Amino acid sequence: MSIDERLRYTISNPPIVHESFGDEAVIVNLNTGAYYSLDKSGLAIWNLISQGASIGEIVDHLSSRYAAERGKILVSVAELISSLQGEQLIHSESDAVHRANDPVESNSNSGEKIPFEPPLLNKFTDVEDLLILDPIHDVDAAGWPQKR
């Protein structure tokens, strides 16, 4: 599979809004009410996308942080981006190829690399349920939106 690592993407705002809560990014499509979450490597990828990083820059960043082959990380990043595009959370920048490379802040992590887990995009679409679920009494140990 040939992946153009120069491609960059933009968060489709509006109607997409997002916020980082410590170790998790939450994303909402205000048109549908659908709720998404990303953590671990998914959170890192999302943050880099929002900073304007190209696929190549994202992969380089993750490669310096996670113990996995670059090729494997590249495939995982491409798959997540495909999912995000499919959900209309991001769209590609039309002038990505010709845009001057604005350097993304590099990860100067010189410590031990951590095991790589492919990113997982969690999606919740039952808006009514999301709204009425009691976040203290009706949830499991992980908290809302995970029901008890």
Partner 1 sequence: MTESQAIEGWRPTEEQLLLLQAALFDGEDARAAWRSWSARADIERLDPGSNRMLPLVSYNLDQLGVDDPLSARLRGYRRQTWYKNQIWLSEMARFLAEFERAGLQTLVLKGTALVLLFYPDCGLRPMTDLDLLVRRDQARAAMSLLAELGWKANDEDMERRVRSASRKNGADANGDLASARMTSAALERRVRQGHATDFVNSARLRIDLHWYVLPENRGPDADTDFWNDAVPVRIGNFTTRALSPTDTLLHVCVHGAKWCPVPPMRWVADAMMIMRVAGDRIDWNRLVRLARKRRLSLPLGRALIYLAENMRAPIPPAVLLGLRDTPTTWSERMEYRMFSRPRKAGENYSALSVLWFVHRRLDEARSGFHSVVTFPVYLQHCFALEQFSDLPPFIFSKLVQRGRRRFGWGKLKSHVYR
Residue position matching structure tokens 């599979």: 1
**According to CB under 8 A, which one of 95, 100, 110, 141 is a site residue for partner 1?**
141
Query: Using CA atoms, how far apart are residues 56 and 81, in angstroms rounded to an integer?
Result: 13
Residue 87 neighbours by CB distance under 10 Å: 17
DSSP count for the chain of H helices, then E strands: 4, 8
**Could you tell me the smallest distance in angstroms from the CB atom of residue 33 to partner 1?**
6
Scanning 39-47, 58-66, 90-98, 128-136 for contacts with partner 1 by CB under 8 A, the matching segment is: 128-136
Residues 20-79 that bind partner 1 (CB under 8 A): 21-22, 24, 26, 28, 30, 33, 35
Which residue, 35 or 116, is less far from partner 1 as judged by CB?
Answer: 35
Scanning 39-47, 57-65, 108-116, 133-141 for contacts with partner 1 by CB under 8 A, the matching segment is: 133-141
**Could you tell me the smallest distance in angstroms from the CB atom of residue 51 to partner 1?**
19
Which residue, 30 or 114, is less far from partner 1 as judged by CB?
Answer: 30
Scanning 9-17, 61-69, 74-82, 101-109 for contacts with partner 1 by CB under 8 A, the matching segment is: 9-17
- DSSP helix, strand, coil percent of the chain (3-state; round to 5): 30, 25, 45
Strands 122-124 and 16-21, bridge-based pairing: unpaired
| Among the listed residues 105, 2, 89, the one whose alpha carbon sits nearest the alpha carbon of residue 42 | 89
- Contact status: 143 vs partner 1 (CB under 8 A): yes
Sequence-ordered alpha helix ranges (H) in the chain = 41-50, 55-65, 70-86, 127-132
Binding site for partner 1 (CB under 8 A): 14-15, 17, 19, 21-22, 24, 26, 28, 30, 33, 35, 130-131, 133, 135-137, 139, 141-146
